[in-house]
Chain A
Amino acid sequence: MIGGLFIYNHKGEVLISRVYRDDIGRNAVDAFRVNVIHARQQVRSPVTNIARTSFFHVKRSNIWLAAVTKQNVNAAMVFEFLYKMCDVMTAYFGKISEENIKNNFVLIYELLDEILDFGYPQNSETGALKTFITQQGIKSQLQTKEEQSQITSQVTGQIGWRREGIKYRRNELFLDVLESVNLLMSPQGQVLSAHVSGRVVMKSYLSGMPECKFGMNDKIVIDKQGKGGTTDEAGKSELGGSSGKQSIAIDDCTFHQCVRLSKFDSERSISFIPPDGEYELMRYRTTKDIILPFRVIPLVREVGRTKLEVKVVIKSNFKPSLLAQKIEVRIPTPLNTSGVQVICMKGKAKYKASENAIVWKIKRMAGMKESQISAEIELLPTNDKKKWARPPISMNFEVPFAPSGLKVRYLKVFEPKLNYSDHDVIKWVRYIGRSGIYETRC
């Protein structure tokens, strides 16, 4: 198991050092600094073995988190834990920075003591942790016996992510369907690979211990219902937005630990008791019938050895009534670029020498439109034999629909003990499609 956990600043100074196992000594702290942080070459692997000691590291801004072990630990678990550790710290004191870590080092030690015991990760749900690890320092005498046992049962219990006795005057929930659409296209416009990775993020402000059921236009479920011939109420689109009987094929999905996986496996129904506040209910991935919101058509021509002509056309491919926002096209330029002249019909374009790219920004663009940029790039003559690698043209944007076609069909809330019903809950749904890695080779 994890033998020790260290946090360093960008210079390699130790900010936090917590050793859990006897086989990890102080020299491990230095070994990592010398061999990884101060290494001359860029790190080639997130796992490093130095003198039979393995170091797992992740970097957040310029802070290094390293878990150390001498055993054959579960590597995936160690990285998951490090990410979780970052989440917990962020939830407590915001951005992970040297300043914040130094300011909260006592708190961090307290957290590390709680969420990692002898190197074994323990309950690390922020919701539960915040009930008894507070920045003020816990007043052990002030808690009543019930409170104490409530805390411990929550920390160890089946529903470790939610405490009892939550009350809201207004029961409300927000569902965000956030998708990032990824594309790799050949210069000829052939889709080399495309997929959508989506997340359903839920913000719940619900009283008591509500039992929830979530439904979407999952092909498997819809087909099953179609065959059965029964059109139960769930079939009706309750939250609006779903159009007709379109369904999508989900390649794979994963769920927050509150979702009963065995039930999903057997009935493909998503039921759970949600954590309070914001959390990620599920992640999913689709590859079929993706709506690609933009098409990029590049044209690069080398005019002699010192000039390059670039023309890029973008076409929006969605309903004309919808608006895409924050559109940015990034056209890479060679390293020996000496000057660039740009002409664009819409938006603003600039050559950014420090980034070796022409950045073209458009604030808004409606569906089924087309826009174009052309540029002349002057090159310095070089005797470098190596050809320019021509990195792909990448694109960023945000659209108000889900490129995968996913629709929320319902989210039902049952709270048997308290007297509010599903109809009293105010529900909001929003779809946002963003570009992931959206690249066209040129």
Chain B
Amino acid sequence: MTDSKYFTTTKKGEIFELKAELNSDKKEKKKEAVKKVIASMTVGKDVSALFPDVVNCMQTDNLELKKLVYLYLMNYAKSQPDMAIMAVNTFVKDCEDPNPLIRALAVRTMGCIRVDKITEYLCEPLRKCLKDEDPYVRKTAAVCVAKLHDINAQLVEDQGFLDTLKDLISDSNPMVVANAVAALSEIAESHPNSNLLDLNPQTINKLLTALNECTEWGQIFILDCLANYTPRDDRESQSICERVTPRLSHANSAVVLSAVKVLMKFMEMLPKDLDYYGTLLKKLAPPLVTLLSAEPELQYVALRNINLIVQKRPEILKHEMKVFFVKYNDPIYVKLEKLDIMIRLASQANIAQVLAELKEYATEVDVDFVRKAVRAIGRCAIKVEQSAERCVSTLLDLIQTKVNYVVQEAIVVIKDIFRKYPNKYESVIATLCENLDSLDEPEARAAMIWIVGEYAERIDNADELLESFLEGFHDESTQVQLQLLTAIVKLFLKKPTETQELVQQVLSLATQDSDNPDLRDRGYIYWRLLSTDPVAAKEVVLAEKPLISEETDLIEPTLLDELICHIGTLASVYHKPPSAFVEGGRGVQHKRLPARAGSGESAESPDVGQAVSAVSDAPPAVIPSQGDLLGDLLNLDLAPPTSNVPPVPSSMQMGAMDLLGGGLDSLMGDESETSASHYRTEVQSPQPPECSERELGGDVGGSPAMGVSLGGAPVGMPAGLGAAPAVGGGLGDLFDLGGGVGVTAGSYIPPKTVWLPAMKAKGLEISGTFARRSGVIHMDLSFTNKAMSVMTDFAIQFNKNSFGLAPAGPLQVLTPLSPNQTVDVSLPLSTTGPVMKMEPLNNLQVAVKNNIDVFYFSCQYPISLLFVEDGKMDRQVFLATWKDIPSENEAQFQIKDCHLNSDAASNKLQGSNIFTVAKRTVDTQDMLYQSVKLTNGIWMLAELRIQTGNPNSTLSVKCRAPEVSQYVYQCYELILRN
């Protein structure tokens, strides 16, 4: 038996030789020839030319030969569909063979031949095999239904195979049950809404019975299927858990992980005070630890999952820190994952051990691992306050090793430690400064510069240090440039006398010589601040920073919940939802943890109760009377009349130069004299009370969110709320906001983007955007003909989509579109079209036809398009609805860099039909309660928290259809930022 010789035939004319051998009379020779063919096929040679000859060998009673021919058929049938039909007779005959192994082989192979003509012939044999007396044939046939469904789903439905498959769940043979479950689960995945896998307590019971009897693989199929079931109440949930827990002792890690998945999911429904809940928690730890003695690849899968589990339920493994200690011989992927989990489990109780370990790891060989270990030490310091001092001294030890990447990594984390514990460990700065020259990575350089800027007053030669970085300013990465700019401005504000030249230099580098918009804008902002109002500049630039949080790399809770539902699978390995890496519609519907819906007395779970009371604690929010508003206003430093703003030439460059000159000069002088803000306040105070509300809103909007005493610099100025004229056109020009003047508050319309590039559509380019104008949704399209010939006969069609968008009329491109011509069309849309859930939700697939061809593209519309005009909810109704929607439907988002105050935001949002129902102010925080109604009648409730002086606001969205929340957030961001 040396079959390896088949791999070596590579001479010319081989195909002809094989052909002759295949047609030989001698059985042995035939078999040899087929083996050669398969060997060639394996290494990637094209042997499809031999198709008829190989198929001729199919009629044989030698099972080995038959299997080889079948293997060939599966590979090439698709490329030779007409020839493949030759094989059908043999298949059909084999399906009647007295030997069950042959019957099964035939039906198994037939399912793998993806040729329409053959699938037609497959139906009858498959039907028989599904009812075969032999379980081996039935279990093979069950999988075959899934194969057939993959080729032709309609056929499977029409032939009633799905019902037969469902019947097999009650089969007496456990393996048949398992395969039927696997097949049904797969088919159900491609029909998310079908009720195919109708899981009810009876079927669940059958599955649980089969679970005890079937093979390890079958157990996995059944457990994975069970995980999709949502028990009716906590009792059912408990009884299923009780029957699943024995699986935790299975030798197969996949069985264990799938069981863990079921338990983690169903646990969610158990009341926490139940004894059983505690027992279950205890039972979960040992099997998870045991997974770490499996082979390294499985350890990796297990560790990725444990990472999720410790985030979801830290109590399970909190005493098991030691098992995650890294072994010298662990593969690197295992080491890195263990490290991650160690940090998650670090607590005051075990921190000493953890630190000792981490220090050990920091001397290892693998660079990535060492870096991560150093970073981990920093994270420990931030997480466990008591350990901070030890961590810092460990980091200092490491810096002393002078290993380049260790030093750099250490500096990056020390920066975070400074942020977390300000004014505590500054004594180490000197050591850090010694290593300045060895830093070559942007992140480390940026961190070091930040430290120098932040503690400039304590570092004697801060200016020299920063100046040394400035020499190669343009070769630095953006990260470093930005940090350097800020640091030097900080330095200047702290030591204005010595560093004037330096700041002038960096500002001109940033604004004039750089084409990075972020850098330039930041440069201008500082420039403006410094020149108009250094006090304000101080308050802005040297403002107290919010403390950094303990855990920066936690997985976002909704994603975590979804991933928990995918324990054991690839999604849990990648830490990404399946939709991120699976193509098409298969298996991408989002899974969620079951909600606690207890039976009987336990209905009132503590969490829910708390959430409700938290809401009702809030007094019914009242929009403050005008008087209050005015009162507030008086405390604000409002935009001054134009006369107070220094003259600004309209040319940007020129203006900047002037500004600096004037500004700096005056800075050197008596501060109070030039500090415009004081002066302005006086002017501002007698604000006329009869001022109309409209104007008020505008003025408030004009005051930037960057700081109360910021004065007139319209840094984050919202366009066109009436304030702009008062501030002065020059500034408006400077910040390129002039365009906004005079536009009344309306819904935000994103600029047109190219949806269909000309390359893909034979010269037709389509760009477009969406807009809602007086209650009608419009799709604004620009057609550009970039081809050489005239285009005519345009028409448009939409695919079914989530909100039933459809053209309300035909596409009006009347005149033919000649080359290089562009025509703009506005297509009104209705929302009465056919509905189908899309992924993402706001995806719209469009087909455009012209005289040349039909083109397809997809685009995404802002969901604000669907916000209707009567979306303002009554205050009482709002309150009731807010309470009524369960708290797990609440989603929280951060809106970053929005420099609007609450009234301006409210106004702006109203333009897009987001209505403020009530407003409440607590300290410096304004809370807006807002309602939105979608075209399909879904209501969305939102709470927007805006803190004065903080560019980041928090948005909580509550809705009965929580999948929409994320898109609403996107709209908020879009509207508020533009």
Contact = CB atoms under 8 A, between A and B. Distances in A.
B67 A113 contact: yes
Interface stretch (A48-56, A296-304, A307-315, A339-347): A48-56
Contact of A192 (B146, B182, B258, B322): B322
B68 interface: yes
A117 B186 CA distance: 14
Contacts of A80: 216, 252-254, 298
B483 interface: no
Interface stretch (A219-227, A250-258, A319-327, A370-378): A250-258
Nearest to A280: B251
- How many B residues touch the partner, as a band? 35 or more
Contact of B290 (A13, A153, A157, A252): A252
Nearest to A29: B44
B213 A158 contact: yes
Contact of B221 (A120, A135, A264): A120
Given A44-B333, A74-B220, A80-B254, A439 B328 contact: yes
A320 to B, nearest CB: 32
A155 to B, nearest CB: 6
Contact of A83 (B245, B295, B353): B295
Given A79-B301, A118-B143, A156 B173 contact: yes
B10 to A, nearest CB: 13
B297 interface: yes
A1 B186 contact: yes
Interface string B545-577: 000000000000000000000101111111000
Interface string A366-404: 000000000000000000011101111010000000000
B789 interface: no
Nearest to B321: A193
B293 A103 contact: no
B250 A255 contact: yes
Contacts of B112: 20, 118
Contacts of A109: 38, 67-68, 71
A52 B252 contact: no
Nearest to A437: B327
Is chain B's interface secondary structure helix, strand, loop, or mixed overall? helix
Contacts of B574: 47, 49
B578 interface: yes
A385 B402 contact: yes
Interface stretch (B581-589, B667-675, B810-818): B581-589
A257 B101 contact: no
Contact of A118 (B99, B134, B147): B147
Contact of A385 (B7, B257, B403, B586): B403
A441 interface: yes
Interface string B697-733: 0000000000000000000000000000000000000
Interface stretch (B359-367, B484-492, B761-769, B849-857): B359-367
A23 B582 CA distance: 11
A114 B459 CA distance: 73
A387 B398 CA distance: 11
Contacts of B247: 261
A152 B139 CA distance: 11
Nearest to A389: B363
B147 A257 contact: no
Nearest to B574: A49
Contacts of B179: 117, 120, 122
B250 A47 contact: no
Contact of B289 (A70, A260, A285): A285
Contacts of B212: 260-262
Contact of A15 (B42, B243, B328, B332): B42
A94 B186 CA distance: 36
Most buried by B among A14, A102, A156, A157: A156
A80 B295 CA distance: 9
A418 interface: no
Contacts of B302: 76
A19 B150 CA distance: 15
Most buried by A among B63, B98, B296, B297: B297
Contacts of B251: 254-257, 280, 282-283
Given A80-B298, A156-B173, A157-B173, A261 B250 contact: yes
Contacts of B572: 75
Most buried by A among B150, B249, B571: B249
Given A143-B99, A152-B101, A261-B249, A120 B135 contact: no
Interface string B767-808: 000000000000000000000000000000000000000000
A257 B921 CA distance: 64
A141 B101 CA distance: 12
A230 interface: no
Contacts of B402: 385
B635 interface: no
Interface string B189-215: 000000000000000000000001111
B333 to A, nearest CB: 5
A193 B250 contact: no
A290 interface: no
B44 A257 contact: no
Interface in A12-28: 13-17, 19-23, 26
B332 A44 contact: yes
B971 to A, nearest CB: 29
A103 to B, nearest CB: 5
A123 B175 contact: yes
B523 interface: no
Nearest to A388: B363
Contacts of A278: none
Contact of B246 (A118, A149, A264, A439): A264
B4 interface: yes
Nearest to A155: B136
Is chain A's interface secondary structure helix, strand, loop, or mixed overall? mixed
Contacts of B217: 77, 81, 120-124
B299 to A, nearest CB: 9
Contact of B573 (A47, A113, A437, A439): A47
A132 B64 CA distance: 11
Given A47-B573, A72-B587, A106-B64, A148 B297 contact: no
B300 A253 contact: no
A155 B101 CA distance: 11
A394 B327 CA distance: 11
A190 B258 CA distance: 37
Contacts of A91: none
A138 B403 contact: no
Contacts of B290: 251-254, 283, 285
Interface string B1-26: 11110110000000000000000000
A416 interface: no
B329 interface: yes
A82 B301 CA distance: 14
A23 B212 CA distance: 34
B227 to A, nearest CB: 11
Nearest to A107: B3
Contact of A389 (B182, B322, B365): B365
Nearest to A390: B363
A394 B328 CA distance: 10
A140 B286 contact: no
Nearest to B402: A385
B298 A14 contact: no
Contacts of A152: 100-101, 134-137
Contacts of A394: 328
A54 B576 CA distance: 13
Contacts of B968: none
Given A46-B296, A252-B287, A391-B328, A156 B135 contact: yes
Given A106-B64, A184-B325, A280-B251, 7 more contacts: A47-B573, A141-B61, A158-B213, A160-B175, A254-B249, A285-B289, A385-B403
14 contacts: A14-B42, A52-B581, A72-B566, A75-B568, A76-B302, A77-B217, A79-B253, A135-B1, A137-B65, A140-B99, A160-B215, A261-B249, A285-B286, A437-B327
